Chain A
Amino acid sequence: MKELQEILSSSKHILPEWILILGILLLVIIISFQKKDSKWPYRFSFLLVLTYTFTATYFYENLPSEGLKLYGNLLLVDQTSLFFKQLVSISTIIFLIHGRLFKYKFDGEIYFLILCVLLGLSFLAMTTHFLVIYVSIELVSIASYVLVATKNEKTNFEAAIKYLIFGATSSAIMLYGISLFYGMGHVLNFAEQTFSASISSNSPLVLQIVSFLFLGGLFFKIAAAPFHSWVPDVYEVTSTPVISYLSFAPKAVGVLVVARVIQANFAELNAVVLLIIFVSLIVGNLAALWQTNLKRMLGYSGIAQAGFILIGVLKGPQTDFYGAFFYLLTYLPITMGAFFLADLLKKQSGSDEIEDFKGIGQKNIFMGLNAVIIMMALVGLPPTIGFMAKLMVFSYIINLGEDMHSSVYYGLLIFGLMNAAISIYYYLKVPYFMLIKKSYNQPRYNPDFFLTLVLTYFSIALIIFFLYPDFGTEWVRKVLF
C-alpha cells in the first residue's frame, strides 16, 4: 500500500510527461483517422510541444534545490533537468518550424517518432537510475533508427542499418557495463551514497573500465569518437530538419547524463573523458577537412564539437559543468542554424555538395553574410556566441590546470585551440564557395527572401547573444549542481 501511495503521489509531479504521453496517444489516433497528407498531425504536434514546454517551465514553482525524488528514486526532477527539457523542446519547436517552412511532406508518423524521441530524452534528463537511463536511451534510439529509415531510398536503409547495428552494439556494451555495476554492488542508482560505497572495494582500474563500458552508450548518443562511425552516413542521407534535431537534442541530454555520472564521483573518470576528448577533436576535425558534402561535414564537425563540449564535464575541485551547459545552450542556435542554412543552400543549388554552392552568395548577399556568421560561430570567432562558448570551456581548462597541477590540461588547451584554428579551413569553405567562386552554369535561382529572413534570425541571435550573454549565463547559472 505504501508503494502505491508513493506511485500516486509521484505521478502528480510529472505533469509535462503525462501531457506528452497522452498527446502522443492522441496523435496516433489522429494519424490513423486522417488522410495521408493531412495537416492535422503537424498542427497537433506543434500545439503539444508548446504545451509541454510551458508546463515544463511553469509547472514546478517551489522546487527544492536538491530536486524532487520520485518513484522511489527512479526519477529526479531538479532545475538541471528542467533546463535540459526546455532546451530539447525548443529544438523540437525549431524542427517543426523548419520542416514547415521548407514544405516537407512529412507523414504523421515522423511527428510521432520525433515526439517519442522528445519523451525519451525528457525521462533521460531526469534520472540517475541505470534502468531508466537504459530504457529511455532505447526509446530514443529506436525512434531515431526509424526516423533515419523513413525516407524510402536505398541509401537511407544503408545508413539506418549502420545506425542500428552500431547503436545496438553500443547499447549492448552499455547494458554490459550496467550489469557489471549491478553485480558489484546490487545498487542501480549511481547517485546514491550506497552505490559508491558498495563498489568502492573494487580496484580503480576495474571501475574505470566498467564506467567506460557504461558511458559508451552515452558517447554514442553524443556522437563522440570512437563511437562516431554512424555519424557521417546518417547525417548525409537523413532529411535535414530531422538530422538538425538529432544533431542537437540527444547530444545535449547525453552530456547531461555524463555530467551526472561524473558528479556522482564513484570513479576517477577524467582519464577516460580526456581520451574521448582528444580522439573526438582529432577525428572530427581531420575527417571534416576532406569532406565535400556539407551535411557530412557538419556531421564530422558535430564530433569535434562534442569534444569541446566534453571539456566542460571534466572533474576538478570546483566542478559545476558551467562550461558544458553554456556551450550546449549556444550550440542549439548554432547547429540548428547551420542545418537551416544547409537546407536553404540545397533548395537553391539542388545539392548538398559544397562545390555546387558557387555564386549563390553573390546573387543573394544576405544569405552569404548569414553563412559567414553561422560558420564563424561554429569556428568560435567573435563577434558570435560561439566565441563565448569556447572562451568558457578554455578558461575552465586553465582553472583545472591550476587546481590539478597537471600539464595534461595545458596540453589539452593548446591542442583544442589548434583544432579550433584548423577547423576554420573547412568551415570557411562554405562562404568561400558561396561568395568568392564564380558559378559557371547559372544555378536555379529563386531569391527565397522569406527563408533568408528566417535564417537571419539565427545569425542575429548569434550576435546579440554575444553582445548580451547575461541572459544565457544567468539561465545556466541557476541550474548548476
Chain B
Amino acid sequence: MQSGLLSSLIILPLIASMVILLLPESYKGSYRWISLIVQILLMINLGTLIGGFEPNHTGYQFLEHFEWIRLTLGKTSILSIDYIVGIDGLSLAMVALSVVVFFIANISSFSINKKEKAYYSLFLLLTATVIGCFIAIDFFLFFIFFEFMLLPMYFLIGIWGGPNKAYASLKFIIYTLVGSVMILVVMIALAMSNVDEFFTSEYRRTVFSFDFRILSDHANLLKGSLLNIENPVKIFGINARDFMFILLFIGFGIKLPMVPFHTWLPDAHVEAPTPISVVLAGILLKIGGYGLIRIAYGFFPDIAIHYGLLFSIMGLISILYGGFNALAQKDLKKLIAYSSISHMGFVLLGIGAFNIEGFNGAIFQMFSHGLLSSMLFLIAGVLYERTKNREIANFRGLAKTMPIFTVAVTIAFFGSLGLPSLSGFIGEFFTLFGSFQARSVPKVIPILGVLGIVLSAIYLLWTFQKMFFGEFWTKEEFKNNLTDLDQKEIIMLGVLGILTLIFGIFPNILFDLINPSVIQLF
C-alpha cells in the first residue's frame, strides 16, 4: 500500500519552506501561521498514522518504495539507492515525538521577530529533515537527511543565537560533521558488502543496496567482502565489523551526546534561541539513540553484544559527569544542558543492557526526555525573554509572583528527577532494570547509575528552592518584567505537562507501540 501518508510528513514542510521563501516580504505576518498550519497538518497526519498502525504486525508499515538512483560503479556493479520510507514502533514513537515538539517549538518561535522569512523556511526545512531521518528505510536516504539537518541548524543557531553564536554554531557543525563522516564510512562499507539478490539476477551485475531490510539480514552479505562474517578482514589489526561498529558508536555518540564528545552541546544550547534549544534537546539528540538502536545494533547485532559493557560504562560516565557538572552551573540553561547529557546517559545505559527491558527503557527515556527537556528549555526561555538573564542567583521567591509558572516548573523538575507518576520515572526505571538484568554488565554500574537520579534530585531541587521559594527578590530592573505566563506559554507548557503526566501514569500507551518492534530486534 503506497498511501503517501509518510511522504507527506516530509513533503508538506518542504513545500511550505519553499512557499515562505518565495512569498514577498509584505506577507511577513503570515509566515508563522503558514508554518503553524503545516505543523497542525502534520499532527493530523500523525493521528491517521497512529490510527492505522498495527503494533503486532511484523516489519515496517506504510511502506513507500520508489526506485531513485542506479549508480553504476565501474563495469561490474551497480549501487542501488531507493526512496523507501516506512515505520515500525520505534520510528513511530520518534516521529510522534518530533511532530509534538516541532509544534511546540513553532508556537515558541512566535517571539522571534528578526528575519522571519529565513527563520521559518529554515525551521520547516529542519522539520522535514528530522522527520525524514526517522522514517527513512534506506541508509543513503537516512544519511542525506542526517547530514542535511546540520545546515538549517547551523544557520538557526548562527543567525538567531546569543552573543557567542559564531563559535557555538561552528563547533556544533564540526563536531556533528566528524560524527557523520564516521557514519558515512560505515554506510559505504555496508553497502559494498550487501547484495540485493533479486536485482542482481535481474541486471546480471552485482547490485549493492542501502535498503535497511537488506542490510539487517546477514544472508545478503557478499562472500569475501569487507564485512563478511566467516573470514573477518582486519583493519589496523581490528576485525572490520568491530571497527565499523566502533565508528558507528562514536558517530552516533557525538550526536547523543556521550561524554567525552559532548562539549558542543552546552555551547550550542546556551547560544541557541529558545525554540531551537527545544528542538535540539527534544529531538535532535534522539537521532543519536535511534541510530544506535536501528543501525549500530540493527546491522551489527553479532558485534554489539560484546560491547554491552562499553556502552554501559560510557552511559554511566555520561550520567555522573553530566550530573556533577550540572551541580556546578550558575546559568539555568547550562544546568539544563548538562542535565540533558546526564539523562541521555540513561539511554546509553539501557541500550548497553541489550535486552528487551533495556531497549524499551531506552526508547521510553528518549521519548520522555524529549517532552521534559522541551519543557525545561521553555522554562529557561520564559525567564530569559522577560529579563534577558538566566543567572540562577538573580531570582528568588518567584512562586509568589509567578504561580502558574511555578506549577509548570514543578511538573518539569519533578518529572526530570524521576518522580513516580511522571514519565521520567518510567524511563529511568526500565533502563536501570534492564541494566540489572544484563549478564554482561556488572551490577555495580546500574547501582552507580541510581546515583545519577540522586544527583538530578540534588541539582534540580536546589535550583527550585533557590529560585522559587523564600522572599521574592530579584534585581531592580527585572521586577516589572516578571509577569506570569501568557496564554501562548500556558498552551506550550500545558500540553507538554499533560503529556508527561499521561505517559507517567499510562506508560503502556507507548510500550504497546514499541514492544513488538523491540522484540523483533532480538
Interface of A toward B, CB cutoff 8 Å: 318, 320, 322, 362, 365, 372, 376, 381-383, 387-388, 391-392, 394-396, 398-399, 401-402, 405, 407, 410-411, 413-414, 417-418, 420-422, 424-425, 428, 432, 435-436, 467-470, 473-474, 477, 480
Asked if B234 is an interface residue, CB under 8 A from chain A, the answer is: yes
With A381-B147, A395-B79, A398-B226 given, is the CB distance from A473 to B188 under 8 Å? no
Q: How many angstroms between the C-alpha atoms of A354 and B198 in the bound complex? A: 52
Chain B residues numbered 101-149 whose CB sits less than 8 Å from any CB in chain A: 115, 117-118, 143-144, 147-148
Q: Mark B69-107, 1 if CB is under 8 A from A, else 0.
A: 111111110010000000000000000000000000000
With A322-B74, A365-B118 given, is the CB distance from A382 to B174 under 8 Å? no
Asked if B41 is an interface residue, CB under 8 A from chain A, the answer is: no
Asked if B66 is an interface residue, CB under 8 A from chain A, the answer is: no
- A473 engages B234 (CB within 8 Å): no
Cβ contacts under 8 Å, A470 to chain B: 69-71
Chain B residues numbered 217-275 whose CB sits less than 8 Å from any CB in chain A: 224-226, 233-237
- B74 engages A320 (CB within 8 Å): yes
Give the residue among B70, B74, B184 with the most A Cβ atoms within 10 A: B74
User: Smallest Cβ distance from B210 to chain A, in angstroms?
Assistant: 11
Query: Nearest residue in A to B184 (C-beta to C-beta)?
Result: A417
Task: Report, as a range, how many residues of chain B touch the other chain.
Answer: 35 or more
Cβ contacts under 8 Å, B189 to chain A: 398
A-B contact pairs, 6 of them (CB 8 A): A381-B148, A395-B191, A421-B181, A470-B69, A470-B71, A473-B72
The 10 closest A-B pairs by CB, nearest first: A382-B144, A417-B181, A421-B177, A410-B235, A421-B181, A320-B74, A436-B158, A395-B188, A322-B74, A421-B178
- A392 engages B144 (CB within 8 Å): no
A sample of 14 more A-B contacts (CB under 8 A), given A425-B170, A436-B155, is: A320-B75, A365-B118, A382-B143, A383-B148, A398-B192, A398-B226, A402-B226, A405-B233, A407-B235, A417-B184, A418-B178, A470-B69, A470-B71, A473-B71
- B73 engages A413 (CB within 8 Å): no
Interface of B toward A, CB cutoff 8 Å: 21, 68-76, 79, 115, 117-118, 143-144, 147-148, 150-151, 154-155, 158-159, 165-166, 170, 173-174, 177-178, 181-182, 184-185, 188-189, 191-192, 224-226, 233-237
Q: How many angstroms between the C-alpha atoms of A425 and B21 in the bound complex? A: 26
- A428 engages B173 (CB within 8 Å): yes
User: Smallest Cβ distance from A317 to chain B, in angstroms?
Assistant: 11
- A424 engages B177 (CB within 8 Å): yes
Give the residue among A318, A411, A420, A436 with the most B Cβ atoms within 10 A: A436
Describe A's contact surface by its main secondary structure. Answer: helix
Q: How many angstroms between the C-alpha atoms of A410 and B243 in the bound complex? A: 11
User: Smallest Cβ distance from B440 to chain A, in angstroms?
Assistant: 28
User: Smallest Cβ distance from A481 to chain B, in angstroms?
Assistant: 10
Q: How many angstroms between the C-alpha atoms of A339 and B192 in the bound complex? A: 35
Q: How many angstroms between the C-alpha atoms of A206 and B234 in the bound complex? A: 32
Q: How many angstroms between the C-alpha atoms of A395 and B237 in the bound complex? A: 21
User: Smallest Cβ distance from A368 to chain B, in angstroms?
Assistant: 9
Describe B's contact surface by its main secondary structure. Answer: helix
With A320-B74, A421-B178 given, is the CB distance from A382 to B147 under 8 Å? yes
- A424 engages B184 (CB within 8 Å): no
- A480 engages B71 (CB within 8 Å): no
- A436 engages B159 (CB within 8 Å): yes
Cβ contacts under 8 Å, A401 to chain B: 226, 235
With A320-B74, A322-B73, A402-B226 given, is the CB distance from A424 to B235 under 8 Å? no
With A382-B148, A383-B148, A425-B170 given, is the CB distance from A410 to B236 under 8 Å? yes
Cβ contacts under 8 Å, B170 to chain A: 425, 428
Cβ contacts under 8 Å, B165 to chain A: 436
- A407 engages B234 (CB within 8 Å): yes
User: Smallest Cβ distance from B116 to chain A, in angstroms?
Assistant: 12
Cβ contacts under 8 Å, A421 to chain B: 174, 177-178, 181
User: Smallest Cβ distance from A289 to chain B, in angstroms?
Assistant: 12
Q: How many angstroms between the C-alpha atoms of A418 and B159 in the bound complex? A: 27
Q: How many angstroms between the C-alpha atoms of A376 and B173 in the bound complex? A: 13
- From B68, B173, B226, A424 is in contact (CB under 8 Å) with B173
Query: Nearest residue in A to B247 (C-beta to C-beta)?
Result: A414
With A382-B148, A424-B177 given, is the CB distance from A480 to B185 under 8 Å? no
- From B154, B177, B191, B225, A402 is in contact (CB under 8 Å) with B225
Q: How many angstroms between the C-alpha atoms of A387 and B184 in the bound complex? A: 11
Q: How many angstroms between the C-alpha atoms of A396 and B76 in the bound complex? A: 13
Query: Nearest residue in A to B148 (C-beta to C-beta)?
Result: A382
User: Smallest Cβ distance from B271 to chain A, in angstroms?
Assistant: 12
Give the residue among A318, A392, A421, A425 with the most B Cβ atoms within 10 A: A421
Q: How many angstroms between the C-alpha atoms of A103 and B144 in the bound complex? A: 39
User: Smallest Cβ distance from B474 to chain A, in angstroms?
Assistant: 32
User: Smallest Cβ distance from A376 to chain B, in angstroms?
Assistant: 7
User: Smallest Cβ distance from B273 to chain A, in angstroms?
Assistant: 14
- From B71, B225, B226, B233, A388 is in contact (CB under 8 Å) with B71
Give the residue among A387, A413, A425, A428 with the most B Cβ atoms within 10 A: A428
Cβ contacts under 8 Å, B173 to chain A: 424, 428
User: Smallest Cβ distance from B215 to chain A, in angstroms?
Assistant: 15
With A381-B151, A413-B185 given, is the CB distance from A474 to B235 under 8 Å? no
- B236 engages A398 (CB within 8 Å): no
User: Smallest Cβ distance from A321 to chain B, in angstroms?
Assistant: 9
Query: Nearest residue in A to B189 (C-beta to C-beta)?
Result: A398
Q: How many angstroms between the C-alpha atoms of A131 and B270 in the bound complex? A: 64
User: Smallest Cβ distance from A356 to chain B, in angstroms?
Assistant: 17
Query: Nearest residue in A to B179 (C-beta to C-beta)?
Result: A421
Q: How many angstroms between the C-alpha atoms of A396 and B79 in the bound complex? A: 12
With A401-B226, A424-B174 given, is the CB distance from A469 to B71 under 8 Å? yes
User: Smallest Cβ distance from A436 to chain B, in angstroms?
Assistant: 5
Cβ contacts under 8 Å, B155 to chain A: 435-436
Cβ contacts under 8 Å, A320 to chain B: 74-75
